[in-house]
Amino acid sequence: MRARNLKVIFSLAFLLPATLYAEEWSAPQYITELNSAKRDVTPWISADGKTVYIASDRIPGGTCSRCGMEIFVSHLVDGLWTAPERLPEPLNDPLSWDGHPSLTLDGRYMYFHSNRPSPFNPGTRQADDTDIWVSENINGVWQQPVVLGANINTTYWDYAPQISVDGQTLIYTSNRPGGYGNFDLYISHKVDGVWQKSENMGPVINNSIAQVAPNVSYTGKYMFLSDLSNVYRSIKVDGVWQTPIKLPPPVNQCWSGTESSIFNDCTQTLYFYNMCSPLGSWDIATTQWLDFPDPNPCDNFIIPEGQWRVRVTLLEASADLSNDIYLDQPISQLLIKHSLKNVGKVVSTPFLSAEELIFHIHVDANNWGLGEYDHYSNSEFARVQRTDPLRYLVGFEDLPADLADWDYNDTVLLVELVGVEVNIWESQNYLGENQVVQSTPADQDTALVLLLTSSAGVEATAVIPGAGLSESTYGVLTEGDPALYTDLIQPEAPLAPTGVFLKLELENGQTQLLDGQAGIIKIAYADEDDDGIVDGTSVAETGLVLARYDEESGAWMALPSEVDPVADNVTCAMNQFFPIFALGTWTTPDEEPPPVEPPVEPPANPPPADASGPKLHSTDSGSGPGCLSVAAASDPAGWAAVVGLLGLLGSGRLIKRRPR
C-alpha cells in the first residue's frame, strides 16, 4: 500500500491586515423579543449565537437612579428569542444595579458589575458605587457572587467587565485617579488562579475624553469600545492593540452604544444598544459587518486566543484497521495508541493558544503486523463538525480513496476545548462508562485513592502514593467493557480472564509511577456459595492472579497477587506501570509459568503479620514481598499510611464519583 503523509489542518490563526479596512455595516435591526418599554442594555452573546444575557430595569425596584437593573437570559429557539427570564437571587440583588454580564466561553463563570455592598463601597447603592463581581454556574445554578479583590476593585467607579473566553484576562472600566480621561480601560491577568494588579491600557486605547465598555471578540482579534457616544473598534496586531477607529453610520447615528457592544466573529454580528429605537428608550440592536475581512473563523476548527487544552475522546475506531492517533501541531504528541483497544479513552494536551491544530491517524495496514503504515489526515480524509463553541466531532476515512465509502465514521474523535481552570474529567461522559474520579496534591504525605463499584456490584480499588506522581493530578479508574478487550486475549495467551477489566489513567498523562514507587490494585470477586470457585467460572479462587497488559510487548504480565478467600478479593502491587489490568487465572501454570513483574524492595522494617487474620494465598513466585508491603514506602510509617487508607475505603469519604 502506498504510504501517505497527508495532514488535515484546522486553521486557528488569522492573517492580520497591515492596514485597517474601510468598513460597511448594515442598518441596525432592533430585536423585538428582547426589548421592552424600559431600558434594555449591555447584551452578551454566546459564540454560537444562541444565548444572550442582557441587563434591564423592566422589573421595578430600588431607590437609586439605576437600582432595579437586573440580568436576564434569553435563548434562540426556531429563529426567535424567548422572553427574557430574570436570573434569580443570589446572582441578582433586587435592591442593586446589576449589569454588564460577561461570560467565559464555557458559560461557567459570569463577571458583572454591581453596587451591592462590598469592602470597596459604603453600601449606599449609588450608581458610582459599582464593583466587579463573579458568579460560578454549578449544575445549572448560579452561585453566590464574590467581589473581586483590591487588584481589580477600588473605592471608585469600577464597572463594565469583559472576561476573555478562557477566563484568564479581564478588561474593565474605571474612573480611578491616574488615568488619561474621565474613564479609562484597565486590564488584569490571572496567574496561578490569582488576579494580578490591574494596569491602565495606555494612551493608544485611552484618551482625554472617556473609553468605556470594552468587548473583545471571540477570536481575540477585535476589541469594541465606546466613548459614551459612539462605538469604536481596535484590532490587535502582533499582540498589540491599535488606535481605535470610529465605526461609520449607520452604527453611530445617535447616542449610540453608550456602554456596551459585543462582536461575534462567527456571525460577523455586532450587538449593541442605543436610543434610536422606535420605543424611545435604550434598546438592543444588531448590525452586520458586511465586508468582514476574514474568512468565517467558525467554519473550521478554531481555538480562541487564550490558554486551552484539547480534550480528545475516542468515540469510534475502525473495525478493520488498527490505528494510532497523533496531534502533530502545535505540539507533537501521541494521543491514543492502538485505538481499537481504547474506544472511550480520554486524553488531553498541554496548554496551547490560538494556533493551527494538525491531527493525523497512523494506520497499520497489516492489522498489528510490522508492515507498511499509512497516514490519513488531510481534508480529503477527515470531516470536522462543530457542535457548539467548545466541541467538535472529527471523523476520519481511514481507507485509501479507491476503497473509501466516504462516510467519515471509521475513526471518530470528540474534540473539546478545555480551559485552564477545568479538569478534563468534569464534563459529561459521552460513553456512559462506569468511572470514579479523585484528585490529590502530589506530595509525599498523600495518596490517590479510587474505589469503584462495577455494574455487577464488584468493588475495585486503586491506591497511588503521592510520591509517585510528578504533579497534582486527577486519577480515573474505569470499569472496562470486556467486549473492548477481546483482542487483547489471544488463544495462545496464558491469561484466562474472569471478565473483570480495569483502566487506570492519570490526567497529567503519566503511565507509570516515579522510580521506587508502587501502588495497589485490589479487585473483589464473587464466591457466594463459598465453594472456592469464582461464580460463573471454573476458576479456583486460589489460582486467581491480577495481570497488567504491556502495550509494548503485547503480553500480559503477572503481578504479585494475594488472594483473601474470606473477603473474596485479590490484592496486588501494580508496581510502576499501568493502565490496563485484568483479573483471571493462568491456563497453563505448570508448563508455562507467567512472567512476573520484578518486585519493589520491601520496607526495611515490615510490620508483623496479624496472626488472627485470614491466611493469604499468594501467587507470587516466593522471591518477592506481598502486595501490601510492595505498595508501602520504604519505611514503616509509609506502610501504616497505606493500610490506614485501605481501612477507609468502605466509608466513601475518599471517593468522588464522576458527575453524570
Q: Is the pLDDT of residue 609 over 70?
A: no
Query: Can you tell me which residue has the cell 462543530?
Result: 386
Please tell me the total number of residues recorded for the chain in this structure: 660
The mean pLDDT value of the chain amounts to: 75
**How confident is the model over 232-285, as pLDDT tens digits?**
999 999 889 999 999 888 888 776 555 567 888 878 889 988 877 777 678 999
Ramachandran region of residue 433, left (φ > 0), alpha (ψ -120 to 50) or beta? Answer: beta
Of 375, 378, 377, 381, whose CA–CA distance to 363 is shortest? Answer: 375
- Name the residue type at position 510: Q
Cβ neighbours, 10 Å, residue 154: 17
Specify the pLDDT at position 469: 85
What Å distances lie between residue 495 and 141, 458, 485, 553, CA to CA? 49, 20, 13, 15
CB of 376 closer than 8 Å to CB of 382: yes
Max avg pLDDT among 168-177, 217-226, 515-524: 168-177
Query: Strands, DSSP E only, in 46-157?
Result: 51-56, 70-77, 80-81, 85-86, 98-103, 109-114, 131-138, 141-142, 146-147
Report the alpha-carbon distance of residue 396 to residue 376 in Å, rounded. 8
Q: How many CB atoms lie within 10 A of CB 385?
A: 11
CA distance 637 to 498: 35
- Counting other chains too, the contacts that 532-536 makes at CB distance below 8 Å and 24 or more residues apart are 532/565, 534/498, 536/498, 536/499
Cα→Cα distances 429→149, 349, 483, 541, Å: 35, 18, 19, 34
Name all domains of the chain by residue range, CATH numbers in brackets.
8-12+301-419 (2.60.120), 49-258 (2.120.10.30), 435-651 (2.60.220)
Q: Judge contact between 20 and 243, C-beta under 8 A.
A: no
* The three grid cell numbers given for residue 359, joined into one nine-digit string: 491531527
Kindly report whether the global pTM for this prediction surpasses the value 0.75: no
Q: Tell which wins on pLDDT, 642 or 63.
A: 63
The residue assigned the cell 459612539 is: 230
- pLDDT value at 633 more than 90: no
Average pLDDT over residues 98-116: 93
**pLDDT of res. 16:** 29
Looking at residue 419, its pLDDT comes to 76
Tell which residue, 642, 483, 510, has the closest CA to residue 576.
Answer: 510
pLDDT at 598: 47
Residue-level pLDDT at 236? 92
- Kindly report, residue by residue over 127-154, the tens digit of the pLDDT: 778 999 999 998 889 999 999 999 999 9
pLDDT value at position 234?
Answer: 94
If you average pLDDT over residues 353-372, what whole number do you get? 65
Nearest to 410 by CA among 300, 335, 314, 481: 314
Report the b/e string of 211-241 with b at 16+ CB within 10 A: bbbbbbbbbbbbbbbbbeebbbbbbbeeeeb
C-alpha cell at 385: 463538525
Instruction: Please state, for a pLDDT cut of 90, what percent of the chain lies above it.
Output: 24
**Which residues pair with residue 518 across a beta bridge?**
none
| Closest listed residue to residue 392, CA positions, set 647, 4, 65, 10 | 10
- What pLDDT does residue 423 have? 55
Nearest Cα residue to 14 out of 301, 359, 392 = 301
Distance CA 32, CA 19 (A): 37
Q: Collapsing DSSP states into helix, strand and coil, what is residue 260? A: strand
**Residue 516 burial (CB count, 10 A):** 13
238: left (phi over 0), alpha (psi -120 to 50) or beta: left
User: Which of 363-377, 459-473, 546-560 shows the lowest per-residue confidence on average (mean pLDDT)?
Assistant: 363-377
| Residue 64 confidence (pLDDT) | 56
Give the separation between CA 503 and CA 345, rounded to whole angstroms.
Answer: 9
Q: pLDDT: is 368 or 363 the higher one?
A: 363
pLDDT at 395: 86
Banded pLDDT at 339 (limits 50, 70, 90)? confident
